[in-house]
Chains A and B, each alone.
Chain A
């Protein structure tokens, strides 16, 4: 098989043993890499329920089958482990260049087990692996750590927050973050400060000529598409804030509302006009959605949409500069901006309601920058906030407005105006994640204009996008490339009668997507301009990849992650949302403005081939080739 090294490195930090994980080459075809291959490794390796901080817990870092090629946006890597936030499997995806360097160094992935006595880092150079002392790096920020490691090589590191096991500590690579789920805390628990990798390995193609021809078309498609060719380069992900406000999709005041009166002060337009220095993007990316802005006199990575939303509208913060500074500090100390924002909003509401006198108030950014440091060092009140909103609510109350799913704080999209997004959050394997949840909000108002008020057809559509995004992510590709699936005409001409008709009809297609999900052999073909990833994988690896196999790889992965979670104690009742989103109307004038999960969940289970308790049936697992 081309496009891979076929090697996954295994390092035991307790025994210092270094060897190869016994990977089956067939698993690359079935799981593609990334989060899916990581789920397979964790599923096979952990035989019983494992705590995030058990020595047996493992960190799996993986690239995808597209990584190393010149396919657009294909340099991403994934970190999976048992999450200290959720107790379930988490997968955290990150851009930058680490995956390229790891593959050039000779490995598709890295499995880290055990626990070191003192802080160490792993140095991988052209196949040679050395565990090195990192005690001199302890306490350094993520940028200081990367500088101290030296050289223009791929690096993943933690900051003080990871060392102190903040439950939402991130792993940072260059300025990019594997932020979600607390993967950095598991690094800290294992006393692993980071990994550095580089090498001279060459990438092999099955059919380079066909790949190059297709690749050119794919890049042109992305450059021409209104979302990936215009919106994202010019406004970044932050460009969504304005539309989210008008569509009641912008989490505001700890999700007590879906729109924010000061949204114009913290929008993508404001970021561009007032703060943007230049665009930036990952290696091989033609989109360049990253922003470079100024914080504390340095040119640094600007905030993404989620950070703008959760550290802006959701805590009633209209100070763009403070969000930029907080974003920078979170990256430097190594904490997830999203869970930080979600936790802040929760404790601010606790304070407002007189349930915990903590001094933190909505619409007041005083001391927040200092709070990032306190959380990271677990000092004073920071020690409590370092636990995340679920644990804080279990101590101080307010579980109804602790805005997490399965322990992980939900993203900045307010789901009471997007039913499919609500279902996605509730069923996402890693907790309150918009991407793992299928990102239905793009269909329900931010790209297409399908009604977010109806639950009709949303189960089938959510499953389709969950599986597709799972597979695209696993391949090493950025999920932003999937926007090309939205026809340009529909996106550019929202008022055309054809667009409006299709938007009205899409909920009725939900049944069709459900049918296709269970009869995926009908998609045994390639549509190069609709889902270019499948054809690209085929030309790189030589595997007979098509839309059916790609989507089925996503489904296989989604089910495997679910099985790991069930082994970790997950039950169907955990597929839910905070009470605020299910019971409180977002707008009193609209009786449908709450997430009607009960209207969607049973259909979701049925289409997924899961029983009424949310457990995959033997029949479904057999179809997917999974042994349980």
Chain B
């Protein structure tokens, strides 16, 4: 399983810190998370995405492959303060 973690407003607004998702691509993970949590797909797509401590940018971020043991992080982009 892949561990998906949530930080910032995504975590606060949905009262969720982390869940496990299946292996696949980031796109697959987003669909799965949107299906089983209150987080909407758009919010996940607009989030800052980090896979195993590496920031993923651009459209290709959705194609990033996730294998068992990986960490997928979604952070609300609003983190200034």
Contacts and interface: CB of A to CB of B under 8 A. Distances in A.
Question: Which of B48, B50, B75, B80 has the largest count of A CB atoms less than 10 A from its CB?
Answer: B80
A483 B81 CA distance: 8
A306 to B, nearest CB: 11
Contact of B80 (A236, A246, A447, A493): A447
Contact of A232 (B11, B12, B61, B81): B81
Contacts of B8: 231, 235, 239, 242-243, 269
A239 B79 contact: yes
A231 B55 contact: no
For the complex of A and B, the 9 pairs showing the least CB-CB separation, nearest first, are A447-B80, A243-B79, A226-B78, A242-B7, A494-B77, A227-B80, A231-B78, A237-B81, A442-B80
Given A246-B50, A494-B48, A240 B81 contact: yes
A483 B80 CA distance: 8
B11 A269 contact: yes
Contact of B9 (A231, A246, A289, A495): A231
B80 A500 contact: no
A234 interface: yes
B57 A242 contact: no
Interface in B1-34: 7-9, 11-12, 17
Interface string A210-244: 00000000000000001100111011110110110
Contacts of B50: 246
A491 interface: yes
A72 B17 CA distance: 33
B37 interface: no
Given A493-B46, A495-B57, A500-B57, A289 B81 contact: yes
B12 A235 contact: yes
Interface size class of A (residues with CB under 8 A): 20 to 34
A272 B75 CA distance: 16
A230 B9 contact: yes
Contact of B81 (A236, A246, A493): A236
Interface of A: 226-227, 230-232, 234-237, 239-240, 242-243, 246, 259, 264, 267, 269, 272, 289, 305, 442, 446-447, 480, 483, 486, 491-495, 500
A136 B4 CA distance: 58
A305 B81 contact: yes
Contacts of A230: 9, 78
Contact of B46 (A234, A305, A492): A492
Contact of A493 (B7, B11, B17, B77): B77
A374 B56 CA distance: 48
B7 A243 contact: yes
Contacts of A234: 9, 12
Contacts of B11: 269
Contacts, number: 83
Contacts of B45: 495
Interface of B: 7-9, 11-12, 17, 45-46, 48, 50, 53, 55, 57-58, 61, 73, 75-81
B9 to A, nearest CB: 6
Question: Which of B9, B11, B50, B81 has the largest count of A CB atoms less than 10 A from its CB?
Answer: B81
A493 B79 CA distance: 12
Contact of B79 (A264, A272, A447, A500): A447
B57 A492 contact: no
Nearest to A304: B81
Given A231-B79, A492-B46, A495-B58, 19 more contacts: A231-B78, A236-B81, A239-B8, A242-B7, A242-B75, A242-B79, A243-B75, A259-B53, A264-B17, A269-B7, A305-B81, A446-B79, A446-B80, A447-B79, A486-B80, A491-B77, A491-B80, A494-B77, A495-B45
Contacts of A243: 7-8, 48, 75, 79
Question: Which of A240, A492, A493, A495 has the largest count of B CB atoms less than 10 A from its CB?
Answer: A495
Question: Which of B53, B76, B79 has the largest count of A CB atoms less than 10 A from its CB?
Answer: B79
A414 B57 CA distance: 23
Nearest to B13: A234
Contacts of A500: 57-58
Contacts of B77: 226, 491-494
Contacts of B76: 231
A541 to B, nearest CB: 30
Contacts of A447: 79-80
Contacts of A264: 17
Contacts of B73: 246
A237 B80 CA distance: 8
Contacts of A492: 46, 77-78
Nearest to A234: B12
B48 to A, nearest CB: 6
Contacts of A495: 45-46, 48, 57-58, 61
Nearest to B55: A246
Contacts of B81: 227, 231-232, 235-237, 239-240, 289, 305, 446, 480, 483
A227 B78 CA distance: 6
A272 B7 contact: no
Contacts of B7: 242-243, 267, 269
A279 B12 CA distance: 15
A434 to B, nearest CB: 12
Contacts of A237: 81
Contacts of A483: 80-81
Contacts of A305: 81
Given A242-B75, A495-B58, A269 B80 contact: no
A231 B81 CA distance: 7
Nearest to A491: B78
